[in-house]
Amino acid sequence: DTLRVKILVLGDSGVGKSSLVHLLTNHSELTNPAWTVGCSLQVGLHEYRSELTGQAERLFFLEFWDIGGYPMHKNSRGVFYHGVHGILLVHDLTNRKTELNLSRWLHESCLGADTPPVLVIGAKSDLCKADTLAKRPNGGEAAARIGCPEILLSCVDTRSLSAGTTNAVKLDRFYDQVIEYRLRPRASTPPRVGQAISRPNRQQSKLLHGE
């Protein structure tokens, strides 16, 4: 009996979400990308071993919901945002505006008080100049504001995520966080009116309340 986790892949139109998801699930390059209309669902596998309980490895299905980034489809995208366990925010390293829009995407998709684990991915690093990459060793602006790690990769290069690289380590840690979020027991009663709700991350809440 294998459990499933739902990971949203969000970002502006044309940043490379479909290529990224194909790389993560098939470990190969997407040869003929087409514009994503609505949602494209791909599934990958991940072995999870809990360090705390020391149980045996369990296999998890990672469902990547690759949502098309057209601005005019904004009113119909809300149907995809329920029951999310992890969010991948993708931006284009050659276009800075896509990074600035990431906070808007996070705000649009986070419906509840609880924010699931987030990972920021900068795509198209092969089209970028080397000095732009060197300026951001610990993550760019968006990752710093949201308070989450960042990966820079090229979706056409299968070696970006080969085992042992920093990127692969960060990605595995993100998958583990997502699975832990999924397995966490939920509070059965909602908090009473007037009771303080504890926020998991101060930076994330600042973002949600419209900076």
Partner 1 sequence: MTVGSDSVVMLASMCAFFALGWVFFLKHLFRDYEVRHWIVLVSFSVTFALSCGMFELIIFEIVGLLDPLSRRLWWRLCIFAMLILVMVVLPYYTCYFAISSASFLPRRRSVRSALALACWLGFVWLFWRLGDPFPILSPNHGIFSLEQCIGRVGVIGVTIMALLSGFGAVNYPYSCMHVFVRPVTQSAVLGIERRLLQTLDLVAAKRRRAALLRRDEAQSRQASGWSLPWTAAAAAARRSGPTAASVESEAANHEELGRQLFLELHELKTAQERAAHSRTLQGRYFNLLGWVFCAYCLWKLCSCTINIVFNRVGKVDPVTRALHICVQLLGFRLDVQFWSQQVSFWLVGIMAVTSIRGLLLTLTKFFFALASTHSSNIMVLLLAQVMGMYFLSSVLLMRMNMPAEYRHIITQVLGDLQFHFYHRWFDVIFLLSASSSIAFIWVAHKQTVGKSEHESLLLR
* Rounded least distance, CB 182 to partner 1, Å: 15
Task: Let me know: does 70 contact 38? Beta carbons within 8 Å.
Answer: no
The torsion of the CA quartet 97, 98, 102, 103, rounded to 10 degrees, works out to: 10
Tell me whether residue 79 or residue 163 sits nearer to partner 1 (CB atom): 79
Residues that bind partner 1 (CB under 8 A): 2, 4, 12-14, 25-26, 37-45, 61, 63, 71-73, 75-76, 79, 92, 94-98, 101
* Rounded least distance, CB 62 to partner 1, Å: 9
Tell me whether residue 36 or residue 204 sits nearer to partner 1 (CB atom): 36
Tell me whether residue 79 or residue 130 sits nearer to partner 1 (CB atom): 79
* Rounded least distance, CB 76 to partner 1, Å: 4
Strands of the 39-48 sheet, one edge to the other: 39-48, 58-67, 3-10, 86-92, 118-123, 150-152
User: In terms of C-beta density within 10 A (0-12 exposed, 13-18 middle, 19 or more buried), how is residue 67 classed?
Assistant: buried
Tell me whether residue 91 or residue 145 sits nearer to partner 1 (CB atom): 91
Task: Let me know: does 206 contact 105? Beta carbons within 8 Å.
Answer: no
